[in-house]
């Protein structure tokens, strides 16, 4: 991502929403690609250099949950779920299959723009890690290895693949061994924005990290919960 003009993909079966977001983000100096369902979205992601996806949940042919799952098989680009307020289960499911963030419909354009720019900044930093542009010492705890320079994570010699958000959460906790972080502290350190009703967002990402790094996620060796306080990585 060397250009200042980013390519974002808007996936929504509502033509008015697509057109409104196209106009808004074009005026924000971004290249906007449009899709009306998951199948169209996958085709665009495969053939274009997309930096971020705004993904509706309820769509014909292929919904946003399935499309997110497909994209996550080989792409780490940020995905923001667009969801109606009464679809909390879809929001949680979206995060569970790999989305980075969500925003409720009807949304405020300025808030959505702030979320988009925040996710793009994080992705740019993650992209730079992968290119070896940022130095950082390797972190290791009892067979769990995190390399900040290459964005690689290994558990007992086996590589595990984390999304950019998952990587940043794990790095935060590993760099601060035995220090308990509240959900709010994790959110504000990783997302770099004020905490507001984001408990589910953090909890889902923590659960996904556990599923990837723990032999038995129900009895974690590394990522421990401190009841009523938050989470920590133990030495």
Kindly list the distances between the CA atom of residue 188 and the CA atoms of 39, 99, 159, in Å, as whole numbers in the listed order.
34, 18, 28
Name beta bridge partners: 101: 80
The domain boundary, picked from 96, 130, 164, lies at 130
Torsion of CA 160, 123, 88, 229, to 10 degrees: 70
Residue 131 has pLDDT above 70, yes or no: no
Residue 93: which CATH number?
3.40.50.2300
Torsion of CA 174, 100, 98, 219, to 10 degrees: 30
- The tens digit of pLDDT for each residue in 21-80 reads 999 999 999 999 999 999 999 999 999 989 999 999 889 889 988 999 899 887 888 999
- Clarify whether residues 152 and 88 are in a common domain: no
Local confidence band at 138 (pLDDT 50, 70, 90 cut-offs): confident
- pTM comes to 0.62
- Clarify whether residues 79 and 154 are in a common domain: no
- The tens digit of pLDDT for each residue in 177-215 reads 889 999 999 999 998 888 877 788 888 999 999 999 998
Local confidence band at 122 (pLDDT 50, 70, 90 cut-offs): confident
Peptide bond into 207 cis (omega under 30): no
- Clarify whether residues 123 and 163 are in a common domain: no
- Clarify whether residues 171 and 214 are in a common domain: yes
Q: So what's the pLDDT on residue 2?
A: 40
Residue 145 has pLDDT above 60, yes or no: yes
Inside any domain, residue 24: yes
For 189, the enclosing helix (H) or strand (E) is helix 183-190
Pairing type for strands 223-226 and 158-160 reads unpaired
Residue 209: which CATH number?
1.10.10.10
Residue 226: domain span: 139-233
């Amino acid at each position: 991502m060397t250009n200042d003009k980013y390519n974002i993909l808007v996936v929504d079966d509502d033509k008015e929403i697509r057109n409104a977001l196209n106009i808004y983000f074009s005026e924000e100096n971004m290249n906007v690609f449009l899709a009306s369902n998951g199948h169209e979205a996958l085709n665009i992601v495969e053939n274009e250099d997309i930096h971020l996806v705004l993904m509706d949940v309820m769509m014909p042919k292929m919904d946003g949950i399935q499309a997110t799952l497909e994209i996550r098989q080989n792409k780490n680009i940020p995905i923001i779920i667009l969801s109606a307020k009464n679809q909390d289960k879809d929001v949680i499911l979206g995060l569970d299959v790999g989305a980075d963030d969500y925003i409720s419909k009807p949304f405020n354009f300025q808030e959505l723009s702030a979320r988009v720019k925040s996710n793009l900044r994080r992705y740019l930093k993650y992209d730079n890690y992968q290119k070896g542009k940022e130095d950082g010492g390797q972190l290791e705890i009892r067979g769990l290895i995190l390399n900040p320079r290459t964005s690689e994570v290994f558990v007992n010699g086996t590589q595990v693949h984390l999304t950019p958000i998952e990587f940043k959460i794990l790095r935060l906790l590993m760099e601060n061994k035995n220090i308990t972080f509240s959900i709010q502290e994790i959110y504000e350190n990783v997302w770099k924005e004020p905490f507001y009703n984001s408990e589910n967002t953090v909890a889902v990402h923590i659960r996904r990290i556990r599923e990837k790094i723990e032999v038995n996620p129900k009895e974690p060796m590394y990522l421990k919960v401190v009841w009523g306080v938050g989470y920590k990585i133990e030495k």
